[in-house]
Amino acid sequence: MARQRKVLASLKAEEVCEEGRAGLSNSMTHHVIEFCAGGGGQALGLEMAGFECEAAVEIDPDCCTTLRANRPWWDVRNDDMRNVDAARWKGVDLFAAGVPCPPFSVAGKQLGSSDDRDMFPDALRLIEECSPSAVLLENVPGFASSKFDDYRKKLLRRLEKLGYQADWKVVQAADFGVPQLRPRFLLVALRPQTFDYFQWPTAFDRKTGVGPTIGDLMSAGGWRGATQWIEKANRIAPTVVGGSKKHGGPDLGPTRAKKQWREMHVDGLGIADQPPNSDFNPNGHPKLTVRMVARIQSFPDGWQFSGKKTAAYRQVGNAFPPLVAKAIGRSIRSALRMQRAPSNNGDEQLRLLEEPAVYYSSGQPLKPHHFM
């Protein structure tokens, strides 16, 4: 019986991957190199969109352990992007980077170029060295504020000098099957001959809430209040915050966010080790586990995070949601092939969230070569 379940799960995983490739021909392989890869959210989403990861560079050792454990065939490099020469990847299809956000975050001092953590200059150097066909840069929505108008203009001018046309947009994760308010600044640059084919992915027709997304996990410990809780928590969550190594243990963010979580009947004052059991108050406010938060970020259950709870939660909370990366990746891949992005009303992505037995419990997507 166990073997039957394993085979069935494998078939379901392949079914999901097949649907994820709908509208994309398999006649051409595209490769991506990623910097500041973190716990793998963006890289995983780009893999779902059909990009094979050529290399993933990340400075945090726990993140690198996570990446190697989940994708042993990726070239994972534990290094500071400031020390890397990207010429070895000359002509790669896509350069992707989630450059550090503190210099532009409203939660910080927003020092921008005056902050020594500003990695946009190094990203531009790496882009010049590897001369990719396309560029994807991700950051906090604060980078779109008027305070950084001049900075953005300089960034766009530099990309233009390197031979790219670029566009940027603040994308809302909740529009792409992720049950949380997680706006992100995205910049996409392509060569002039392919830029006109690029289209930003359109928002899905419907959204999904936290309760239905993690309901099976919340009830796994036998909690008698799980069914009612699923209805109470059937809302879009506030932005999940991973925090930094300088600031304490794992929780669900600042005071305002914790209040919003409490309105969803969630205790945001920490992260639980296990789901609530049968002794937990049926009308209580349970804490989320790392795995539950990973679900809310749209990671499949098969994606395991290394390190102790705080380190694992930090990787989850700071990640770029895979389903959002998949949506933007499909649009970039279509443009590289001089095709319009396939239309998608979101049913496919939402089904991944609504049928956890298919997406979450069936394991990880297939190896990149299956996308060829």
Please determine, for residue 19, whether its predicted confidence score (pLDDT) is greater than 90.
no
Q: What is the pLDDT of residue 347?
A: 54
Going from N- to C-terminal start, the domains of the chain cover: 2-205+322-371, 210-316
Whether the CB-CB separation of 269 and 287 falls below 8 Å is answered with yes
Q: What is the pLDDT of residue 20?
A: 40
Among 232-246, 283-297, 336-350, the range scoring the smallest mean pLDDT is 336-350
> Which DSSP letter does residue 360 get?
T
pLDDT-derived band at 355 (thresholds 50, 70, 90) equals low
Give CA angle at 40 (38, 44), nearest 5°: 155
Q: What is the pLDDT of residue 117?
A: 54
Where is pLDDT greater, at 352 or 107? Answer: 352
Where is pLDDT greater, at 243 or 146? Answer: 146
Q: What is the mean pLDDT of residues 129-152?
A: 92
Q: What is the pLDDT of residue 349?
A: 53
* Nearest Cα residue to 10 out of 229, 310, 253, 302: 302
Please determine, for residue 289, whether its predicted confidence score (pLDDT) is greater than 60.
yes
Q: Dihedral sign for Cα 268, 266, 62, 31, please.
A: negative
% of the chain with per-residue pLDDT over 90? 70
Encoded tokens for 277:
């059991």
What is the average pLDDT value for the chain, to the nearest integer? 84
Question: Which amino acid type is present at position 163?
Answer: G
State how far the Cα of 225 lies from the Cα of 284, in Å rounded to an integer. 8
Q: What is the pLDDT of residue 344?
A: 59
Q: Give the number of other Cβ atoms within 10 Å of residue 249's Cβ.
A: 12
Q: What is the pLDDT of residue 235?
A: 96
**In this structure, what are the phi and psi dihedrals at residue 266, rounded to the nearest 5 degrees?**
-125, 135
Considering the four listed CATH numbers 3.50.50.60, 3.40.50.1970, 1.10.10.10, 3.40.50.150, the one that applies to the domain covering 2-205+322-371 is: 3.40.50.150
- Please identify which residue in the block is written with the tokens 């949380």: 180
**In this structure, what are the phi and psi dihedrals at residue 40, rounded to the nearest 5 degrees?**
100, 10
Q: What is the pLDDT of residue 244?
A: 61
Q: What is the pLDDT of residue 223?
A: 98
Q: What is the pLDDT of residue 334?
A: 97
Please determine, for residue 54, whether its predicted confidence score (pLDDT) is greater than 50.
yes
pLDDT in tens, 83-130: 999 999 999 999 999 987 554 444 444 443 444 557 899 999 999 999
Q: What is the pLDDT of residue 352?
A: 53
Q: What is the pLDDT of residue 199?
A: 96
Long-range CB pairs of 339-345, under 8 A, 24+ apart, other chains included = 339/197, 340/197, 340/199, 341/198, 341/199, 341/201, 342/22, 342/23, 342/24, 343/23, 343/202, 344/23, 344/201, 344/202, 344/204, 345/204, 345/205
State how far the Cα of 350 lies from the Cα of 345, in Å rounded to an integer. 10
Distant-in-sequence, close-in-space partners of 334: CB < 8 Å, separation ≥ 6: 24, 197, 198, 199, 340, 341, 342
Task: Write down the pTM of the prediction.
Answer: 0.84
Active-site residues: which are they? 101
pLDDT in tens, 187-196: 999 999 999 9
pLDDT in tens, 222-266: 999 999 999 999 999 999 987 666 555 688 988 899 999 999 999
Please determine, for residue 65, whether its predicted confidence score (pLDDT) is greater than 60.
yes
